[in-house]
Chain A
Amino acid sequence: MAIIHDDFGRRRFLSQAVMGFGLLFGMGTLGLRFLQFLIPSPTPKRYEAVLIGAESRVPVGDAVPMDLGGQKIMVLRTNDGVVAFSRRCTDLGCLVSWSKEREQFVCPCHQGVFDKTGRNIAGPPPRPLDRFEVVKRGGQLYVNIQSS
């Protein structure tokens, strides 16, 4: 292939390169902005204490599923006290249920199993269930849930 040594070829190449990069940069920026428009930014989380009722609402050894403003939780009462877990399986987001006989949380999607402390003990879940703080105020239980 012949190499062009004249100014005309060089000038044309430079001008086309600048225009090409300019166009790419412009389109890229526009594309990026459009993508940002489509991807909502994560809203800041804050903790909120939500009243879930008296302790007696949950029988000992049992867990009660609740929906607190979209947060699906499971309130479990054992001899050690009351604990609240997110029902979202840490594998692929299905909802876990409490098995009273086995004293375990079981995910129906891939048989992920968590013990009563929320620890992942079998199946594909990579980490324990998310846990929420439970506070007792004047005989009533409150769960500190994340809300956006």
Chain B
Amino acid sequence: MESAASPVEHRAEPKSWIDYIQKDLPEHLDWWPYTLGAIPLTLFGLLVATGLLLTFYYVPSPDKAYESIEQITNEVYLGWFVRGVHKFSVDLMILFLFFHVIRVFVTRAYRTPGELKWVTGSVVLLVTLGMGFTGYSLVYDNVSYWGMTVVTNMLGTLPIVGQPLLYLLRGGEEVSGGTLLRLYDLHTKLLPVLLGILVAGHVVVVRLLGFADVRGSRRFHPFYPEHTMMMGAVAVGLLVLITDLVMIFPPTLGPPADPQEVASDVSPPWYFSAPYMWITLLPGPVALWSLLGAVGLFVVYPFLDRALSERGWPMTAVNAGVGTAVVLLVVVLMMLDTRM
């Protein structure tokens, strides 16, 4: 019977922080979908590394920004590769964060005592989206310039905080050189530090609060070396995938920003195209308030779940339904955006 009992229970209580990190994991984490949280973490590391490299060449001024990206892409040794890895890493990070959120949502892994895991994780997602947008704007080709204009305008229409936020981001009423510098500062200083703290906080909270109970998952498997190896394998797999993607789709650069001529395709990055279409299709205030409401509900969802399940709602089915509906809606909106 020795092997059936959880080995972790026989060990001494964890003492130092490294013991918390190395605490054994429930056996269900042996299953690949449960590495979905480790994937964005790996990509975050990759983004920090490639981002640091890019800052050695990037010049955040309207006259030089495009030129420096061109230099990185076409002249600097392996510049195209570093930029490509950075670009695909952020796309994949956001994609896998979405998958991670869907997995946690459908399995209701945020249930008590895991609310804080969800709340920190949801803020990580929001800040990552902010990183995505600010980075997208730095390219300063025409699509990026008009994308930046449109997204900051979108933020400017938010009730109460909209106008101050617009001024904060743009450094004035209009998109200018100051805007680029501000977005650069946000992208390379404030947001990465914030994201780093949040990611570390999320990991620590997950380890302290423990993983959600999964039916049938009684045993534990060691964090080291089993789970570490698994995460290592995921990281290597990601590196291979990203290298292939960069080789097949090397980063490109459109015509330079032209404040006099709107780019033919002013789509924001793919992860913003659903809210962008939502705002386009619905009347302004309805679209904005519903989006804000949705973001608010998203962050506090575990508490809503608790309140509803106490009233006897079948939340597993509700979540499956809501999750499917939201994913379908997002896909439809994204498809509409590609057609407009």
- Give residues in A with beta carbon < 8 Å to B: 35, 38-40, 42, 65, 67, 70, 72, 91-95, 108-111, 124, 126, 148
A47–B52 alpha-carbon span in the complex (Å): 46
**A99 vs chain B, min Cβ distance (A):** 14
Of the candidates A39, A40, A67, A94, which one forms a contact with B266 in the assembled complex, judged by CB atoms under 8 Å apart?
A94
List chain A residues, Cβ under 8 A from B150.
92-94, 109
Given contacts A40-B172, A111-B340, contact A94 B167 (CB under 8 A): no
Interface assignment of B51: CB less than 8 Å from any CB of chain A: no
Residue interface bits B275-291, CB-to-A below 8 A is 1, else 0? 00001110110000000
List chain B residues, Cβ under 8 A from A42.
167, 173
- Contact between chains at A70 and B172 (CB < 8 Å): no
- Give residues in B with beta carbon < 8 Å to A: 146, 149-150, 153-154, 164, 167-168, 171-174, 259-262, 264, 266, 279-281, 283-284, 340
Of the candidates A38, A91, A94, which one forms a contact with B262 in the assembled complex, judged by CB atoms under 8 Å apart?
A94
List chain A residues, Cβ under 8 A from B167.
39-40, 42
Of the candidates A38, A65, A92, A126, which one forms a contact with B168 in the assembled complex, judged by CB atoms under 8 Å apart?
A38
List chain B residues, Cβ under 8 A from A95.
260-262
**A52 vs chain B, min Cβ distance (A):** 16
Closest A-chain residue to B176, C-beta based? Answer: A70
Given contacts A38-B168, A110-B340, contact A72 B280 (CB under 8 A): no
Given contacts A93-B150, A109-B266, A110-B340, contact A39 B168 (CB under 8 A): yes
Considering residues B167, B280, B283, B284, which has the most beta carbons from chain A within 10 angstroms of its beta carbon? Answer: B280
14 further A-B contacts with Cβ under 8 Å, apart from A42-B173, A72-B260, A108-B266, are: A40-B167, A65-B260, A67-B260, A70-B174, A92-B153, A93-B150, A94-B149, A94-B262, A108-B264, A109-B262, A109-B266, A111-B340, A124-B280, A124-B281
Of the candidates A40, A92, A108, A124, which one forms a contact with B171 in the assembled complex, judged by CB atoms under 8 Å apart?
A40
A144–B328 alpha-carbon span in the complex (Å): 49
**B267 vs chain A, min Cβ distance (A):** 9
